[in-house]
Amino acid sequence: VPYALGPMLTSAYPEIVDFTAAMRMEPITNSSFQFKDDSGEVYAVYEPKVVRVHPSFFSIFDFPLIPGSPAVTFGGPGEIVVSQRIAELYFSDRNPMGEVITMNRNVTLTVSGVVDIPANTFFTFDFFLPVFNDLSNDWNWRDPSFLLLQKKEAMKELERKISGFM
């Protein structure tokens, strides 16, 4: 569904607890990242698996946390969650929590979580950036939006109710 529909449906139907979207960055912009290695030297890499998600994403989808990583939350737009693959690749033996990386040469981000992305999921992303802006007027259909229902049994009734919503 378009991004705008998630918040609209959530406010209109009590069966819906929350919503999120997974907005891929690759079709919109290239994503380069600058990291400091163990010696403090800065190097840049291009990474295509970048997605913007609502702060509720990690409460809706419960990816395993890496030991030592706190519950994943986004405290602000300057935070980023990385996959275990990225943590191992770019931070080697260091704890990536609190590390600062730069995206596209001008966006400073602090690592606020590390998640283990299983192989059997649609979400094959390595970088998760928060979306805090209002998407109620964004009718883009490019990427999926997701609704969390109070209970699975509510799905059939909700399907019936929302059929004419648009």
Output the pTM of the full model: 0.87
Q: What is the pLDDT of residue 69?
A: 65
Determine the average pLDDT of the residues in 115-141: 86
Q: What is the pLDDT of residue 39?
A: 80
**Residue 154 above 90 pLDDT?**
no
Containing 17, the helix (H) or strand (E) segment is strand 16-24
Query: What confidence category does residue 130 fall into, taking pLDDT thresholds of 50, 70 and 90?
Result: very high
Q: What is the pLDDT of residue 4?
A: 86
Q: Which residue has the tokens 């109070």?
A: 150
Q: What pairing do the DSSP bridges indicate for beta strands 79-83 and 107-115?
A: parallel
